[in-house]
């Protein structure tokens, strides 16, 4: 905005945009790509409306984003982590044991779990309605893919919900409200991260991101030969994204059956 706000749209050139993009200290390649994509959308609309003849953003290459490595836990390790947390976390902090049991057995994104409200959990129908997310401590009434979804709750997810309910303060709005009541919701992932990494260290399990709990759920579902469309819907992915991300974990026990069809 500082570079372009006072400039007539038909005077903005590709050279201007390249200079602006190269001089900004971007937080990450993803932030840069998001910003240039939004600008390109505005300029594309200007082309469609006849204000300019060409979108000057087209000459700016999109920033390449390295895909994060998928590094799920083995099912046995996931069980050990959950059991260790229930053993060591007492009182209000027991909530974080439930938090990670829920994470491992729903595949919801960390920001979605922290933003989940009691009004969106239906224990009778075994569903959680995912419609908002917490990003950098702020609550947004949307999710990453812009599409709300219902996640079915298996027995382990329901157990986590019941533990959270037993610890919930009267009138609590969020399922996983901070144990110290410092806020309505867990603003930062650093708090659950602290308990998570402590469990990994006690169990001598290689350090991973909290997000790998989601990957663990996805790979467990795939290795159980569950329907790919169902798994994708639970995760809030497209089937194409699911298969490209987790192709390595699609059940290999059926490989020879597939080959024998030839």
Q: What is the rounded CA–CA span in Å between residue 52 and residue 46?
A: 6
More confident residue, 145 or 83: 83
Whether the CB-CB separation of 97 and 203 falls below 8 Å is answered with no
**pLDDT tens digits for 82-99?**
999 999 999 999 999 999
More confident residue, 125 or 254: 125
Residue 84 in tokens? 């260790």
Q: What is the rounded CA–CA span in Å between residue 236 and residue 99?
A: 19
User: Chain-wide mean pLDDT for the chain?
Assistant: 90
Q: Of 241, 136, 138, which is closest to residue 189 (Cα–Cα)?
A: 136
Average pLDDT for 188-199: 93
Q: Of 97, 212, 215, which is closest to residue 159 (Cα–Cα)?
A: 97
State the pLDDT at residue 252: 58
Q: What is the rounded CA–CA span in Å between residue 17 and residue 3?
A: 9
SS3 of the chain: helix, strand, coil, percent, to 5: 55, 5, 40
Q: Is 11's pLDDT higher than 70?
A: yes
Q: Is 209's pLDDT higher than 80?
A: yes
Q: What is the rounded CA–CA span in Å between residue 148 and residue 123?
A: 19
Question: Long-range contacts for 89-97 (Cβ within 8 Å, ≥24 apart)?
Answer: 89/195, 91/179, 92/167, 92/179, 92/180, 93/179, 93/195, 94/163, 94/167, 95/163, 95/164, 95/167, 95/176, 95/177, 95/179, 96/179, 96/191, 96/192, 96/195, 96/196, 97/163, 97/195
**pLDDT tens digits for 32-76?**
888 999 999 999 999 999 999 999 999 888 877 777 788 999 999
Average pLDDT for 204-218: 95
CATH numbers and ranges of domains, the chain? 9-59 (no CATH), 75-207 (1.10.443.10)
State the pLDDT at residue 181: 67
Q: What is the rounded CA–CA span in Å between residue 99 and residue 87?
A: 14
DSSP SS3 for 90:
coil
Q: Is 129's pLDDT higher than 80?
A: yes
């Amino acid at each position: 905005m500082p570079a372009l706000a006072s400039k007539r749209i038909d005077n903005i050139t590709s050279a201007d945009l390249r200079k602006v993009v190269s001089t900004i200290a971007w937080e990450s390649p993803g932030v840069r790509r998001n910003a240039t994509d939004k600008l390109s959308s505005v300029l594309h609309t200007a082309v469609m409306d006849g204000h300019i003849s060409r979108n000057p953003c087209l000459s700016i290459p999109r920033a390449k984003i390295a895909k994060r490595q998928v590094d799920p836990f083995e099912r046995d390790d996931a069980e050990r982590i959950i059991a260790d947390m229930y053993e060591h976390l007492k009182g209000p902090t027991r909530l974080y044991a439930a938090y990670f049991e829920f994470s491992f057995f729903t595949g919801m994104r960390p920001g979605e779990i922290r933003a989940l409200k009691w009004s969106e959990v239906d224990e009778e129908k075994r569903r959680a309605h995912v419609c908002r997310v917490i990003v950098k401590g702020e609550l947004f009434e949307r999710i990453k893919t812009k599409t709300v979804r219902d996640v079915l709750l298996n027995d382990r997810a329901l157990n986590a919900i019941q533990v959270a309910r037993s610890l919930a303060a009267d009138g609590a709005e969020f399922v996983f409200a901070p144990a110290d009541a410092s806020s309505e919701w867990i603003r930062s992932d650093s708090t659950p991260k602290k308990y998570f990494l402590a469990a990994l260290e006690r169990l001598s399990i290689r350090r991973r991101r909290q997000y790998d709990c989601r990957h663990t759920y996805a790979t467990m579902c795939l290795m159980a030969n569950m329907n790919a469309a169902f798994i994708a819907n639970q995760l809030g992915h497209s089937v194409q994204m699911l298969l490209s991300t987790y192709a390595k974990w699609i059940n290999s026990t059926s490989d020879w059956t597939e080959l024998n069809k030839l």
